[in-house]
């Protein structure tokens, strides 16, 4: 089910990035700036999910420093959707679904 907004807990579960890491990344990457609702809770959008997945890949999987990831993304340009494969020709919903499947399979493989 497609949603307009996601909570930090939902984003954490979807991306496998801890909430405290997400809050830290907000202080470093200006592209990651979720709005806050009336209660002060962060609300993330689809574009935030894509960016968080990109950061997770660079920082947690490829072991970039946060500064290195920042420089890499600046050189990559705003039109890039993925650092390892070109999904830009696919509709956003398909890109998101493929990333969710990849995360699920990775979690499943880690359990084996």
Is the model's pLDDT at 99 over the cut of 90? Answer: no
Return the CATH number of 8-111, one of 3.40.50.10860, 3.40.640.10, 1.10.1660.10, 3.40.50.2300. Answer: 1.10.1660.10
For 26-67, write each residue's pLDDT tens digit.
999 999 999 999 999 999 998 999 899 889 988 998 899 999
Q: Nearest-5° angle of CA 86, CA 101, CA 110? A: 110
Categorize the per-residue pLDDT at 84 as very low, low, confident or very high, splitting at 50, 70 and 90: very low
Query: Against a cut of 0.75, is the pTM above it?
Result: no
How far apart are the C-alpha atoms of 22 and 19, rounded to whole Å? 5
How far apart are the C-alpha atoms of 75 and 53, rounded to whole Å? 18
Is 5 in contact with 38 (CB distance < 8 Å)? Answer: no
Which residues, other chains included, contact 6 with Cβ-Cβ below 8 Å and sequence gap of 6+? 14, 43, 44, 45, 48, 49
pLDDT in the model for residue 3: 83
For 56-82, write each residue's pLDDT tens digit.
988 998 899 999 999 888 886 544 444
């Amino acid at each position: 089910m497609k949603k307009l907004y996601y909570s930090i807990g939902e984003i954490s579960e979807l991306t496998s990035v801890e909430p405290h890491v997400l809050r830290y990344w907000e202080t470093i990457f200006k592209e990651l700036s979720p709005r806050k609702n009336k209660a002060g809770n962060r609300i993330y959008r689809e574009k935030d999910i894509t960016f968080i997945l990109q950061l997770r890949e660079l920082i947690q999987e490829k072991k970039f420093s946060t500064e290195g990831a920042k420089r890499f993304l600046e050189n990559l340009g705003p039109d890039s959707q993925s650092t390892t494969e070109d999904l830009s020709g696919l509709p956003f919903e398909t890109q998101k679904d493929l990333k969710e499947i990849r995360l699920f399979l990775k979690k499943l493989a880690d359990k084996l």
